[in-house]
């Protein structure tokens, strides 16, 4: 549904709708892959629930459960599928054991930027393919956030050559984690709430989380010294809202449209907030003495080669994966031709701001 259609529909929603306990027509449970107090993810979930409640005029009430309260963080997919909760928030690469091709909707190494990904989902056939992938599980996915381009991660030792990746124990989920494994690292997938203690205790040598603001909120700058970029493994990760199909279809059409509109707004809100907060947090990290470094060119070159191999193997694993990847890659190539002469060229201009200025506080 196009955004203007959703906006027209929302104009008919009574202003100031509030939720009174016991009076909502539909009472939903929302389960999270993280704690509800986690900045960005948790606060984004709260904002999404409040948006749905307000736009519905109180007809939908949503109770939020943090990771582990109703189900463990990595069991959200199954829980929403069987109706334990009506909606869950996570990332598609967490369920790669259930739907391997779903990883293409969360983060593709050296893949599309957030703007390009959102364009593929909403103005290409990305969202339709995503919903096709989840249909056998009784689930309807919607984008409900985007982290923006991430950082490569925090490390307790310098990364100067490819040899430094050998034997490195790192927390990195999804396709990026598979690429690091091919490069000789040992990857683990642990919930966000356990990252700091694992890094501080030396259980892992490095980790990626998101970007400066979110990483500082987790205290990762107190557990590791070296902070590397760019976020080759997640160049704009999509957060997903998993919705139980039966619960969604039980809603009247206007409430179904409100769910979709609220998820769309959440995607824009998260990206906007992280863009602003990351700029401030980066300055603070540099002022605190954190070494913010680019990954060496030869390391990025090898990671690029391995990424192509890993993604191609996934694309060849089954017909649906091939269909999704063909759509993704075709869209990426087409939009890149436009961005080369628009945004990419513009950002190289001396006065664009990207090249820095004499009064810039942070210049990695």
Task: Profile the chain (364 residues) by mean pLDDT over runs of 10 residues.
Answer: 45 45 85 91 94 96 96 95 97 94 96 96 97 98 96 96 95 96 94 91 95 95 96 95 98 97 96 94 95 97 98 98 98 94 91 53 48
Rounded to whole angstroms, the Cα distance separating 335 from 232 reads 19
Which residues share a beta bridge with 27? 61
The pLDDT score that the predictor gives to residue 233 is 97
Exposure letters 50-83 (e unless 16+ CB within 10 A, then b) = ebbbbbbbbbbbbebbbbeebbebbbbbebbbee
Q: Residues 6 or more apart from 235 whose CB is under 8 A from it?
A: 107, 108, 109, 110, 111, 112, 113, 149, 150
Rounded to whole angstroms, the Cα distance separating 293 from 121 reads 32
Phi-psi region at 244: left, alpha or beta (left = phi > 0; alpha = psi -120 to 50) = beta
Per-residue tokens: 39: 């900045």
Helices (H), 56-136: 76-82, 114-123, 126-134
Domain 3-147+236-275, CATH among 3.40.50.300, 1.10.645.10, 3.40.190.170, 3.90.1150.10: 3.40.190.170
Q: Is the pTM of this model over 0.85?
A: yes
The pLDDT score that the predictor gives to residue 216 is 95
Alpha-carbon Rg of the chain, whole angstroms? 21
The pLDDT score that the predictor gives to residue 205 is 96
Q: Is 10 exposed, middle or buried (0-12, 13-18, 19+ CB in 10 A)?
A: middle
């Amino acid at each position: 549904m196009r955004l203007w259609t959703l906006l027209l529909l929302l104009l008919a929603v009574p202003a100031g709708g509030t939720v009174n306990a016991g009076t909502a027509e539909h009472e939903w449970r929302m389960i999270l892959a993280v704690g509800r107090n986690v900045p960005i993810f948790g606060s984004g979930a709260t904002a999404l629930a409040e948006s749905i409640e307000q736009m519905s005029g109180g007809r939908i009430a949503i109770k939020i459960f943090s990771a582990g309260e109703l189900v463990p963080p990595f069991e959200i997919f199954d829980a929403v599928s069987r109706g334990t909760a009506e909606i869950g928030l996570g990332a598609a690469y967490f369920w790669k054991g259930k739907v391997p091709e779903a990883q293409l909707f969360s983060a593709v190494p050296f893949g599309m930027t957030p703007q390009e990904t959102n364009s593929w989902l909403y103005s290409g056939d990305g969202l339709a393919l995503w919903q096709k992938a989840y249909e056998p599980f009784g689930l309807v996915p919607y984008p409900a956030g985007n982290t923006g381009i991430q950082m490569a991660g925090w490390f307790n030792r310098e990364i100067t050559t490819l040899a430094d990746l050998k034997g490195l124990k790192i927390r990195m989920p999804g396709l990026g984690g598979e690429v690091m494994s091919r490069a000789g690292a040992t990857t683990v997938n642990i919930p966000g709430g356990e990252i700091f203690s694992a890094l501080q205790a030396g259980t892992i040598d490095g980790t990626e989380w998101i970007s400066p603001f979110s990483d500082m909120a987790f205290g990762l700058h107190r557990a590791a010294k070296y902070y590397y970029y760019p976020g080759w493994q997640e160049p704009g990760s999509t957060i997903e809202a998993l919705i139980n199909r039966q619960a969604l279809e039980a809603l009247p059409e206007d409430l179904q449209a409100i769910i979709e509109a609220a998820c769309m707004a959440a995607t824009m809100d998260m990206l906007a907030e992280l863009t602003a907060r990351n700029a401030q947090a980066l300055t603070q990290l540099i002022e605190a003495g954190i070494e913010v470094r680019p990954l060496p060119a030869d390391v990025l070159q090898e990671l690029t080669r391995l990424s192509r191999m890993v993604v191609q193997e996934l694309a060849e694993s089954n017909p649906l994966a091939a269909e999704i990847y063909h759509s993704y890659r075709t869209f990426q190539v087409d939009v890149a031709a436009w961005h080369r002469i628009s945004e990419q060229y513009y950002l190289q201009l001396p006065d664009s701001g990207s090249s820095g200025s004499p009064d810039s506080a942070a210049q990695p």
